[in-house]
Amino acid sequence: MNLTISGHHLEVTPALREYVLTKLDRVTRHFDQVVEISVLLSIEKLREKERRQKAEVTLRVKGRDIFVEQAHEDLYAAIDQLMDKLDRQVCRHKDRVQNHHHPAAKRISA
pTM value surpassing 0.85: no
105 domain residue, yes or no: no
Number of domains in the chain: 1
Say how far apart CA 73 and CA 71 lie, in whole Å. Answer: 7
Q: What is the pLDDT of residue 102?
A: 67
Any bridge partners for residue 40, and if so which? 6, 56
**What value does the mean pLDDT of the chain take?**
86
pLDDT digits (tens, 9 = 90+) for 13-58: 999 999 999 999 988 888 888 889 999 999 987 765 566 899 999 9
16 domain residue, yes or no: yes
- CATH number (domain holding residue 31): 3.30.160.100
* Neighbouring residues of 2: CB distance < 8 A, sequence distance ≥ 6: 35, 36, 37
110 domain residue, yes or no: no
Domain that holds residue 80: 2-97
103 domain residue, yes or no: no
108 domain residue, yes or no: no
Percent of the chain with pLDDT over 90: 53
102 domain residue, yes or no: no
Q: What order do you get walking across the sheet with 2-8 strand by strand?
A: 2-8, 34-45, 51-61, 64-72
